[in-house]
Structures are given as structure tokens and as C-alpha cells.
């Protein structure tokens, strides 16, 4: 079962981020949705969508986003299982950025 999903999404200005987050939050198995705009163009917005829930259906999310004119650029994080495992920083994380 997917418990958290972080998506990089390209969406048109309409629907708004409010409408998009509400539409996703009404899907079964979803407890919360954050939509963060990080780039605005004349035609589109790049947003990060963070979805948390008890049983997230990725296919249903893709379908709803498509219906709203949005496209998933990438899946940036997936947390699955009985509980969410938080990321831990290691020395390798620092050397990978050089």
C-alpha cells in the first residue's frame, strides 16, 4: 500500500491549485494533499504534489490529473508499507552533490 507520493506535475492555470488539491483529496484512501507552485509560465504551472493516505491508488491519481489537464513529469518519492520511513542523511548524500 502506498502511504505517501510526491509528484512533479505540469498543469494548466485552470484548474487552480485549490481545485486540483480538492479533487485529489476526495479520492478514496487519501487523507491529505499539498500542492506547491514552484514555477509559473504564461501557459502552465509546475507544481509539487504531496499526497498522504492509507491506501493511495497511483493509477486513479494519474487518471484524475489527466482529466484536469495535468501531466506527471516525475515521481519523486514513494513511501509504501505499514508505516512511512523517513529519509536519513548519510555522508554519501553530501559527496553526491559535489
Comparing CA positions, the residue from 51, 49, 46 lying closest to residue 31 is: 51
| pLDDT at 96 exceeding the cut of 80 | no
The pLDDT tens digits of the residues spanning 18-62 come to 999 999 999 999 999 999 999 999 999 999 999 999 999 999 999
Q: Quickly count: other Cβ atoms within 10 Å of residue 8's Cβ.
A: 15
**Residue 3 near residue 61, CB atoms below 8 Å:** no
DSSP character for 1?
Answer: -
Q: How confident is residue 6, by pLDDT bands cut at 50, 70 and 90?
A: very high
Confidence check: pLDDT of 95 > 70: no
**What is this structure's pTM?**
0.88
**Residue 98 — very low, low, confident or very high, per pLDDT cuts 50/70/90?**
low
Fold of 2-33+46-84: Alpha-Beta Plaits (3.30.70)
Count of C-beta atoms within a 10 Å radius of residue 59: 7
Amino acid at each position: 500500500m502506498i502511504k505517501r507520493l510526491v509528484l512533479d506535475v505540469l498543469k494548466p492555470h485552470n484548474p487552480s491549485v485549490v481545485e486540483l488539491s480538492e479533487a485529489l483529496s476526495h479520492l478514496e484512501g487519501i487523507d491529505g494533499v499539498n500542492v506547491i507552485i514552484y514555477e509559473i509560465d504564461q501557459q502552465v504551472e509546475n507544481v509539487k504534489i504531496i499526497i498522504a493516505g492509507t491506501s493511495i491508488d497511483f493509477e486513479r491519481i494519474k487518471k484524475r490529473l489527466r482529466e484536469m489537464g495535468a501531466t506527471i513529469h516525475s515521481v519523486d518519492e514513494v513511501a509504501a508499507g505499514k508505516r512511512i520511513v523517513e529519509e536519513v542523511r548519510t555522508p554519501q548524500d553530501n559527496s553526491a552533490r559535489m
